[in-house]
Amino acid sequence: MRTFEFSLSRRSFLGSAAAILALQGGMARAQSKDRAMVIARPTDARTLDPAMDTSDIGRGVFKNIFDQLIDIKGDGSVDAGLAVSWTTNDDASEWEFVLREGVRFPDGSTLAAEDVLFSFERIMTSETSPMKTYTRLIKDVTSPGPMTVRFTLSEPFTPFLRQLSLVPIVPKYAYTDTTRDFAVEAIGSGPYRIVEWVRDDRMVFTANDDYWRGAPAIKDVILRPIPADTSRVAALLSGEVDVMPALPPSSLSQLEGNPDLDIQTIASNRIIYLASNVRHPLLSDIKLRQAIDLAINREAIVSRLLRGSGKAEGQLVAPSVFGYDPSIGPVQQDVDAAKALVADSSYDGSSIPLQYASNRFPFASEVAQAIAGFLNAIGIKVELQGMEYTAMFPLWANMELSALHLFSFGPTSMDASLVINSLFNTRPYFDSDEARRLNLAQLAQADETERQAIITQLWQLNRDEAGYLPLYNEYQSFGSRKSVAFTPRADEHVQFNELSWR
pLDDT per residue as tens digits for the range 150-164? 999 998 898 999 999
Q: Is there a domain that residue 495 lies in?
A: no
Do 132 and 125 touch, CB atoms closer than 8 A? no
Cα distances (angstroms) measured from residue 180 to each of 13, 52, 204: 21, 15, 19
Does 168 lie in the same domain as 38? yes
Same structural domain, 17 and 153? yes
pLDDT band at 200; cut points 50, 70, 90: very high
The percentage of residues in the chain with a pLDDT greater than 90, rounded to a whole number, is 78
Residue numbers of the domain that contains 53: 10-175
| Angstrom distances, CA of residue 95 to CA of 89, 100, 113 | 7, 16, 14
CATH of the domain at 285: 3.10.105.10
Last residue of a domain, one of 108, 142, 175: 175
Is the pLDDT higher at 75 or at 469?
Answer: 469
Nearest to 253 by CA among 194, 309, 170, 206: 309
Distance CA 148, CA 146 (A): 6
- Please tell me the pTM assigned to this model: 0.77
- Within a domain: residue 202? no
CATH number, domain of 87, equals 3.90.76.10
Total structural domains within the chain: 2
Residue 26 belongs to a domain? yes
354-374 pLDDT, tens digit each: 999 998 888 899 999 999 999
Verify that 162 and 280 share a domain, yes or no.
no
**Residue type (1 letter), 141:** V
Across residues 8-24, what is the average pLDDT? 40
In this predicted model, what pLDDT tens digit does every residue of 478-492 receive, in sequence order? 999 999 999 998 888
Among candidates 233, 219, 189, 37, which has minimal Cα distance to 99?
189
Question: Do 456 and 314 sit in the same domain of this protein?
Answer: yes
What is the tens place of the pLDDT at every residue in 434-467? Answer: 999 999 999 888 888 999 999 999 999 999 999 9
Q: Please compute the mean of the pLDDT values over residues 423-427 and round it to a whole number.
A: 91
Q: Of the candidates 175, 204, 237, which is a domain's last residue? A: 175
100 vs 426, higher pLDDT: 100
Q: How confident is the model at residue 249 (pLDDT cuts 50, 70, 90)?
A: confident
Is 80 exceeded by the pLDDT of residue 242?
yes
352 located within any domain:
yes
| Same-domain check for residues 164 and 17 | yes
Query: Is residue 243 included in any domain, yes or no?
Result: no
Is the confidence at residue 236, as pLDDT, over 70?
Answer: yes
**Which band of pLDDT confidence, cut at 50, 70 and 90, is reported for residue 15?**
very low
Higher model confidence: residue 43 or residue 272? 272
Residue 244 backbone class (left: φ over 0; alpha: ψ -120 to 50; beta: rest): beta
Q: For position 345, what pLDDT does the model report?
A: 98
